[in-house]
Amino acid sequence: MAKRFNLNVNGRAHAVTADPEMPLLYALRDDLGMHEPRFGCGLAQCGACTVLLDGNPARSCSVPVSAVGAAKVTTLAGIGSAQKPHKVQAAFIEEQVPQCGYCLNGWVMTSVALLEKNPHPSDEQIRDALTGLKCRCGTHLSIIRAVKRAAQA
């Protein structure tokens, strides 16, 4: 049975009527028209759907909309813009990380969360934080360079 859920997404209030078990990803993409979190595997294994819930990376394909509660949801659109990119977004551009770009959402959002908690991570801490994210283009070394650049910004 569908219920009404109030979501705080990128600092704005949104109401969604959905089955409580519907993934947050579907609410963001289908109901709110957001295209930053992407559908990848649907099993929380690739990271393309990553958002921040109260600053912590979460795979929105596996988070039921009913579990969000009062948590603040932040998507890629909520951290920066083309005119004023977040330091992680700027570093990814400067390091020329994007190739196909499909997985980029997960890498950027996870990197933002890492640098919020640990502004100067070691290489090992960066690799640990990014474990589990998938990129078929193989830009992993460029991504690590970009996170290090953002940490220095």
Residues 29 and 47 in one domain: yes
* Residue closest to 114 by CA, chosen among 147, 70, 66: 147
Pairing label, strands 50-53, 56-59: antiparallel
Residues 50 and 91 in one domain: no
Exposed e or buried b per residue across 55-75, where buried means at least 16 C-beta atoms within 10 angstroms of its C-beta: eebbbbbbbebeebeebebbb
Structural domain harbouring 60: 3-78
Q: What is the pLDDT of residue 40?
A: 94
| Number of domains composing the chain | 2
**How much is the pTM?**
0.95
Residues 56 and 91 in one domain: no
Is residue 27 within 8 A of residue 65, CB to CB? The reply is yes
Note down pLDDT in tens along the chain; length 153 residues. Answer: 999 999 999 999 999 999 999 999 999 999 999 999 999 999 999 999 999 999 999 999 999 999 999 999 999 999 999 999 999 999 999 999 988 889 999 999 999 999 999 999 999 999 999 999 999 888 999 999 999 999 999
CATH code for the domain in which residue 138 is found: 1.10.150.120
Q: Mark out the alpha helices in the chain (DSSP H runs).
A: 24-26, 87-94, 104-117, 123-130, 140-152
Residues 93 and 71 in one domain: no
